[in-house]
Chains A and B, each alone.
Chain A
């Protein structure tokens, strides 16, 4: 259905675009064809119908004759006669077959034009009727006699001739139609000019006018038909157009003037705008540069920085923030709130600040220390500096990671505490040493003056024993206070430990297994091997006490390198290589809450009488004095590890173990002259007595001034200066400096339990300057004097 409509609309479109001439011809032809087709159809149908009618009436006439002539033969059953009757049909060439049939239906007579039997039985026994087939028609008629049916006749006629005639007639008709079409076409071809020619002329003129704008032209308006009307209307229109054209020209001129004026104005405004735009561009460029500059500052301050929107979202963050938080910037910017990075303990407070800052900003600190949390959940100590961005509701926060500072602060605090305690201890020990020097000194004199059998001898021995113990305690205090005089040398840490191995094994007992692992290479440190032994002793003692049921004590030496950014244990250490001495036990461990305090003097977990409470303090003092560090790591129930870091000296060859200086045990040690300066009379007299007894010439001085006078008088005879460091007035050190100027290279031994000034200034002993710590032990003093004099 839509297809046919589509086709029709396409045909219409095609028709619409045809020229008028063609249209007229086409219309004419279509009309002609339609009429001819209609008339032709009617004629043809009429022809066919009338031909048929004639044929039928012909046939019926024939049948009637046959019926009449055959009635008697039927009644009297005369076949011959019937056949005679049919023979008449020979005159009709289109009769192919005929038959006479009696009342009972029996064939009376038959007639065939040719041999073909055809459909000869058709219609037999019927009354009247006829029928048309494709090539033949049959007729049947009842034969009646005295209104009684006595039989029937049947006829079959060939239609070929009839149709032949018909076709011929139709053919003639078709020829006539074609002829009239051709005539009609040429006629319309000629006649259409009557319509199209004026139109074409009009059209041509229109085209001329349109092309050349010649509105003064006029069309030929002679006809009185529609085309004439059209031409007249067209002429009227031209007239009007001409008038309007004139008017328009005037208008146009006016308009052109107007446009020119407006254009001038526009150009001016445009120039102004361009200038403004340029200005703005410059401004924007400047703004962009400013933005870039601030962006660079934001990125490169070194601090983590973020910009926070009013709704707490982080809208900008720099690379340092990414490093600190552990997040990628993409994960943070625009997606996370600042609260996600703050330790929960601080969030509420900061939120409050955040809100208040937006309202007034009064009374809100611009910086504060809080705890932050990074991606892995680690807590960081940070210092926040927060400010509002001007003219916005955004805030900018700069985050400084102060975790390490905080750790160092704690460490520093601890060190200071230790220092204070150490000074206190050392101060006490100084006076105490002088007292002990007297007690032990005179005790020793008394002991020597008594015979071995004397009953008082045991009392003196007890006094001396107690004095020795007190002296050891004082030494411990001084060691912690780093006020001990040490004699550091380049030694192999492995050797220092190896020499102690046997002693340690005996000390820790059989229940505890000692295992030592040495670094295969030489591990050279600047240290006093005796002090290192002390450290090992104390740590081993501590370990043994932590393992009452036995266990493993592991001592290891190794080397570590401390980087600049190391944290944890290494925090606060100078970068560089360190020899590491670790002492591990599998003991009870140290509870976390007291780990920090174990190095404090007199802090002990042991019961009264079990220990002095100085062991680890001494370790701390010695290690610190060696520019080293000691750390402890402990897990209750698993064990404790002490790590001692000592600065590693590279490339140097360590001296072997300290050669035990030979102690001359003869009655006289020497005859040299010794200038003794000591403000404490008791000590001075004691030392003087001992030295004189051992054969030395002793000149005593009560203070530095006296000593200087003596040295000026007879300095040449003095072989050795034995000086107390701390004296009222001129100190031992000051005197020594004067004496050294007068006689360079003069030998001297300083005596003190309090050598901080000297140690701190020099760090290591000067050539020719020796120390001996108080309380003065006779044997040690003698040995030292010989060592210095013989050097």
Chain B
């Protein structure tokens, strides 16, 4: 009985003590830190048609992430190393798996989307209206939280598969 009591007490103690270090780190996170992590996590819910050796995440346009990408750069996702690239031209987008299209490319969005069509890319943005334009996943801020909307038609028209898990999290929009 006594032993049981002690175990119960220790058990309770273990349960109540919370490691707050992670929490502290999160608080320092900025908007783009979150977006970077979210993007890294997209790899876990998305399947590409061709075999992948290493995941490549490409940022096109004027990079808003700054230092934030360092958090995810080089991390291992599903047994593969995550690389971050910043291609200069549309031609060098061919070996990217996730493409973040910056707000700077607002005017050229159609051109870019047309260019990557058929390239099995998960297109991501954080500019209002992008989803309606045809970007697959577009971040937006709601109640100070990072959310995303999903253009299901874009995803269905590509050859990549996105987990329903991810899909049910996003706000589905219609569009091109």
Residues in A lying within 8 Å of B, measured CB to CB:
68-69, 71-73, 75-78, 81, 84, 103-106, 121-126, 145-146
Contact = CB atoms under 8 A, between A and B. Distances in A.
B22 interface: yes
Contact of A81 (B12, B18, B145, B168): B168
A72 B44 CA distance: 9
Nearest to A73: B169
Contacts of A124: 15
| A-B pairs, 9 with minimum CB distance | A72-B165, A104-B22, A104-B23, A105-B18, A75-B41, A146-B44, A78-B169, A76-B169, A146-B78
A76 B44 contact: no
Given A72-B45, A76-B38, A121 B15 contact: yes
A145 B169 CA distance: 16
B166 interface: yes
A77 B145 contact: yes
Given A71-B165, A81-B169, A105 B45 contact: no
B169 A72 contact: yes
B15 A125 contact: yes
Interface in B159-176: 163, 165-166, 168-169
A125 B15 CA distance: 6
A81 B171 CA distance: 11
Nearest to B23: A104
Given A105-B23, A124-B15, A125-B15, 17 more contacts: A72-B169, A73-B169, A75-B41, A75-B44, A76-B38, A77-B145, A77-B146, A81-B168, A104-B19, A104-B20, A105-B19, A121-B16, A122-B12, A123-B15, A125-B18, A126-B14, A145-B44
Contacts of B165: 68-69, 71-72
B136 to A, nearest CB: 15
Contacts of B19: 104-105, 125
Contacts of A69: 165
B23 A76 contact: no
Interface in B2-43: 12, 14-16, 18-20, 22-23, 26, 38, 41
Nearest to B41: A75
A75 B147 CA distance: 12
B38 A106 contact: no
A108 to B, nearest CB: 13
Q: Please report whether the interface of chain A is mostly helix, strand, loop or mixed according to DSSP.
A: loop
A146 B23 contact: no
B23 A126 contact: no
B77 interface: yes
Nearest to A131: B11
Given A75-B41, A76-B38, A146-B44, A126 B168 contact: no
A139 to B, nearest CB: 14
B41 A103 contact: no
A101 to B, nearest CB: 10
Given A75-B44, A76-B38, A146-B44, A106 B23 contact: yes
Identify which of A84, A103, A104 gathers the most chain B CB atoms within 10 Å of its CB: A104
A78 B171 CA distance: 12
B72 to A, nearest CB: 13
Contact of A76 (B15, B16, B41, B78): B41
A73 B168 CA distance: 9
B74 to A, nearest CB: 16
Interface string B113-144: 00000000000000000000000000000000
Contacts of A126: 14-15
Identify which of B22, B41, B145 gathers the most chain A CB atoms within 10 Å of its CB: B41
Contacts of B12: 122
A103 B22 contact: yes
A68 B165 CA distance: 9
30 contacts: A71-B165, A72-B163, A72-B166, A72-B168, A72-B169, A73-B169, A75-B38, A75-B41, A76-B38, A76-B41, A76-B148, A76-B166, A76-B169, A77-B145, A78-B147, A81-B169, A104-B19, A104-B22, A104-B26, A105-B18, A105-B19, A105-B20, A121-B15, A121-B16, A122-B12, A123-B15, A124-B15, A125-B19, A146-B77, A146-B78
Contacts of A146: 44, 77-78
Contacts of B20: 104-105
Contacts of A71: 165
A84 B165 CA distance: 12
Interface in B42-60: 44-45
Nearest to A78: B169
A77 B163 CA distance: 16
A77 B146 CA distance: 9
A84 B18 CA distance: 26
Nearest to B17: A125
Contacts of A77: 145-146
A147 to B, nearest CB: 9
A104 B148 CA distance: 22
A433 B60 CA distance: 211
Contacts of B163: 72
A145 B165 CA distance: 12
A73 B90 CA distance: 33
